[in-house]
Amino acid sequence: MANYLITIIGPTAIGKTALSIELARHFKCDILSCDSRQFFKEMTIGTAVPLEAELAAAPHHFIQHISVFDPYTVGDFEREAITKLDELFAENNVQIMVGGSGLYVDAILKGFDDFPDIASCVRENIRENYENKGISYLQEQLERLDPEYYRKISSENPQTLQNPQRMMRFVEVSLGSGKPYSSFLNQKKNARNFIPVVIGLEAAREVMYDRINRRVDLMLDAGLLEEARLLYPNKTLNALQTVGYRELFSYFDGDYTLDFAIEEIKKNTRRFAKRQLTWFKRTENAQWFDYTTPIAQIIAYADQQIQNK
């Protein structure tokens, strides 16, 4: 009997959690979260972790399972999630995966590129240079070591050039292996023991933006300011370099007024959602539905895909 991984994708605040729970109830299965912002125990409100009633409605995995102080990569997630799926498929040949982190979704559906082991001294030297010279050091190194990939990022995903963790990884692979980082991409991926059924949720842009603005207001009402204040002493941790917290840290620093910080959260979340949609629209064989589509219709589509394969 074939295994099926029903994967729900789409921008933030579009209704993925509610759909995943209804699908899990229908198929009597578990839910794997691949929202990298929801992995951390200390971050609840600002990452829109499912409510207690939602978590109780179906078994969930990879929700608040690590600390912001723990190093955790997409490779770690891939290994752990595939192991968990193997366990779950032994009980039920249909499982659900949901989340808004495109890289993490791709790691599970397609496998992760196979990179060489890099000596720790190379990694430590790069980190030291970054701490002393800033993000510009990493950008200059990548442009020198892998100009083709640097140009690709600049044109397709420029915000990545400001992400120190990603940039350090690109540079350490290039330096440590003596080959461009991009030369290790798009290799033959690991085989998967499941057939993906990918369901996307979308909405008109003005609707999506309005839902985001309202969600931010609800987060603030729920105590986001207080949650961010508790995390503020550790604001330099990589896990906290994310929308919703970063802007409030600037408020605590005295760089923003509270009203300006809130507007920045909304603006940056809207930009984040736009990038999510751009990424997910490239997903192969995804079936897209408007967020107002009756859940029964989406369940019927999932049933049909499983029966036909």
DSSP letter, residue 40: B
Give the pLDDT confidence of 99-125 residue by residue, as tens digits.
899 989 999 998 866 777 788 888 889
Q: Is the pLDDT score of 309 beyond 70?
A: no
Q: Is 10 annotated as a binding residue?
A: yes
Q: What is the pLDDT of residue 121?
A: 87
Give the pLDDT confidence of 204-246 residue by residue, as tens digits.
999 999 999 999 999 999 999 999 999 999 999 989 999 999 9
One-letter amino acid of 113 = D
Mean pLDDT of 247-271: 97
Q: Is the pLDDT score of 85 beyond 90?
A: yes
Q: Is 17 annotated as a binding residue?
A: yes
Q: What is the pLDDT of residue 133?
A: 93
Domain residue limits, the chain: 4-112+189-308, 120-184
Q: Is 24 annotated as a binding residue?
A: no
Say what percent of the chain tops pLDDT 90. Answer: 81
Q: Is 292 annotated as a binding residue?
A: no
Q: Is 134 annotated as a binding residue?
A: no
CA quadruple 273, 277, 278, 282: dihedral sign: positive
DSSP letter, residue 51: P
DSSP letter, residue 66: B
Q: Is 66 annotated as a binding residue?
A: no
Q: Is 41 annotated as a binding residue?
A: no
pLDDT band at 199, cuts 50/70/90? very high
Q: Is the pLDDT score of 189 beyond 80?
A: no
Q: What is the pLDDT of residue 159?
A: 86
What are the E-state strand segments in 139-208? 195-202
The answer to whether residues 59 and 30 touch, using CB atoms and an 8 Å cutoff, is yes
Q: What is the pLDDT of residue 286?
A: 96
CATH level 3 topology of 4-112+189-308: Rossmann fold (3.40.50)
Q: Which CATH architecture describes the domain 120-184? A: Orthogonal Bundle (1.10)
Q: Is the pLDDT score of 188 beyond 70?
A: no
| Sequence-ordered list of residues with C-beta below 8 angstroms from that of 191, at least 6 positions apart, any chain | 111
Least confident of 8-12, 139-143, 187-191, 231-235: 187-191
pTM: 0.79
Tell me the two tokens of residue 238: 């990589």
pLDDT band at 73, cuts 50/70/90? confident
CA distance 303 to 197: 10
Say what percent of the chain tops pLDDT 70. Answer: 97
Q: What is the pLDDT of residue 156?
A: 87
One-letter amino acid of 176 = G
Q: Is 12 annotated as a binding residue?
A: yes
Q: What is the overall mean pLDDT for the chain?
A: 93
